[in-house]
Amino acid sequence: MSKIRQIVQLFFEGDHPAETKKKFYRWLLSPSSESEKEKALVEQWNGIESIADSSTKNSFNEVIVRFGVDKRKQRLRATPKLIRIAAVLLIPIITGLAAYLYVKNSENQSVEFVEYFTPNANLRKIDLPDGSSVTMNYGSIIVYPRNFTAKRREVFLSGEAKFTVSHDKKRPFIVKTNDMNIEALGTIFNVSSYVENSEIITTLVDGKVRIDMKNSEENFVLEPLQQIVLDRETGKTFIRQAKLELELAWEKGYLSFQNADIEDIMQEIQRKYDVRIYANYKEIKGEKLTVKFAPDESLYEIFKTIQLLINKFNYRIEGDNIYIY
C-alpha cells in the first residue's frame, strides 16, 4: 500500500490528538500528489458499509423540516445540539399544537404557551401553574399554557416524564402525546413517549387514568401499578403489571429496563450519557433485557454487563462514539 493510502487509512480508522489532526489536514490540503490523495479518500468512501437505523429516520424528519426554511442555517451551527433536539421533538408537538390552537381559537381565547426541554444528560423538575409537578427525563420536551384557563388542563409531551397532578375534579388533566392521550383527575403517573423509541408506555403509580389511543380510537382505564404498552411497529397495545422500582428509577439517575428492546436501551444510553451509538442490530435484533444500572456506573461497566447478557454483542468505545457490531 502506498504511503498516501496508508496515511489516509490510519487517520480515518483511528482517533487522534488535536496536534496530529492538524498535521493530517495540513498535509491533505498541501498541493502535492492531489490525485493520489483523492483516490485514497474515494477508497475510504467505498469501504463504508453503514446501514440505516432508527436515528436515520430522526435525521430524515429533521432534514425535511428544513426544506424551504433554510435561512436559519447560521443559527443551527451556533447551537447545534439544542436545535437538533428541538427539531426532532417539535414535529409531533407541532401537530398537537396546531390542533390545540385551532380549538382554542374557536373558543375565542388567546393562549400563551411555555415550552421546556431537557437536553441530553439532564434531568429537570418543573411546577405547572395549577400546582401539579413534572419531573422530566433526558431529552424530553413539554409544552403547556402559561395559565390553565380552559376547562381542561392540557399539556404536550415528547419524551419521558413523571406527572404528579393536583386534584381538580372540574378540570381534567390531559397529557397529549403522539400516540396516546392520558386523562387524569388527581393522580401520579409516568409517561414514556420518545419519538425514537419503539415502545410507548404509560405507568400509573396512584389514582386513576384514562388512555385514549389515537390510531385505534380504543380507550383503556388503568389501575394503580398497571402500565399500558404500545408497540409502535405492530400497533398492538397491551396492559401489564409494572415494576415501579424499574419504571421510576430514572428519577434517581438509575438506568433501568423492564423487558426492554435492545434498540430502546441503546437510545436511552445515548440520551443519558450524551454519546452516539452506531449499531448494526442484525445479530441482536429482538433481544430483550430486564436490567438496572446505578447512577455512577460508567459506560464501560454498562456495556460489559450487556455483553454478559447478550450473545454476540460486541462493542467498542471511542470517546463519544460507541460502535456495536
Partner 1 sequence: MNENKLKLYEDIFIKYFPKVKCFITRFIKSSAIAEELTQDVFVKIWENFDKIMYIEYRDAYIYRIARNAALDYITQKYKEESLIDNVKLREGYSIEEEMDAKELELLIELTVNGMPPQRKKVYEMSRIDGLTNDEIAKNLNISKKTVENHLNLALKRIKKIITAFPFLFVIIASHLQ
The footprint of partner 1 (CB under 8 A) covers: 3-4, 6-7, 10-17, 20-27, 29-30, 32, 41-42, 44-45, 48-53, 56, 59-60, 62-64, 66-67, 70, 73, 76-77, 80-81, 84, 276, 278, 320-321
Q: Which is nearer to partner 1, 45 or 102 (CB)?
A: 45
The nearest distance, CB 14 to partner 1, in angstroms, is 5
Q: Which is nearer to partner 1, 14 or 286 (CB)?
A: 14
Residue 155 C-beta-side C-alpha neighbours within 13 Å: 29
Q: What share of the chain is helix, strand, coil (3-state, %, to 5)?
A: 35, 30, 35
The nearest distance, CB 13 to partner 1, in angstroms, is 7
The nearest distance, CB 10 to partner 1, in angstroms, is 4
Q: Which is nearer to partner 1, 69 or 308 (CB)?
A: 69
The nearest distance, CB 76 to partner 1, in angstroms, is 7
Label residue 212 exposed, middle or buried (CB < 10 Å: 0-12, 13-18, 19+).
middle
For 219-286, where are the alpha helices, taking DSSP H only?
244-247, 262-273
Q: How far apart are CA 132 and CA 178, in angstroms?
A: 22
**155: amino acid identity, one letter:** V
DSSP one-letter code for 167 = P
Contact 161, 190 (CB under 8 A): yes
CA 148 to chain centre: 28
The nearest distance, CB 322 to partner 1, in angstroms, is 10
Q: Which is nearer to partner 1, 8 or 200 (CB)?
A: 8
What is the widest separation between alpha-carbon atoms in the chain?
Answer: 77
Q: Which is nearer to partner 1, 236 or 276 (CB)?
A: 276
The nearest distance, CB 324 to partner 1, in angstroms, is 14
Q: Which residues of 293-317 are buried (b: 16+ CB within 10 A; e: fewer)?
A: beeeeebeebbeebeeeeeebebee
Q: Which is nearer to partner 1, 44 or 181 (CB)?
A: 44
Q: Which is nearer to partner 1, 20 or 95 (CB)?
A: 20
The nearest distance, CB 161 to partner 1, in angstroms, is 25
Q: Which is nearer to partner 1, 254 or 278 (CB)?
A: 278
Cβ neighbours, 10 Å, residue 49: 6
Q: How far apart are CA 123 and CA 78, in angstroms?
A: 23
Count of residues making up the chain: 325
Residue 248 C-beta-side C-alpha neighbours within 13 Å: 18
The nearest distance, CB 42 to partner 1, in angstroms, is 7
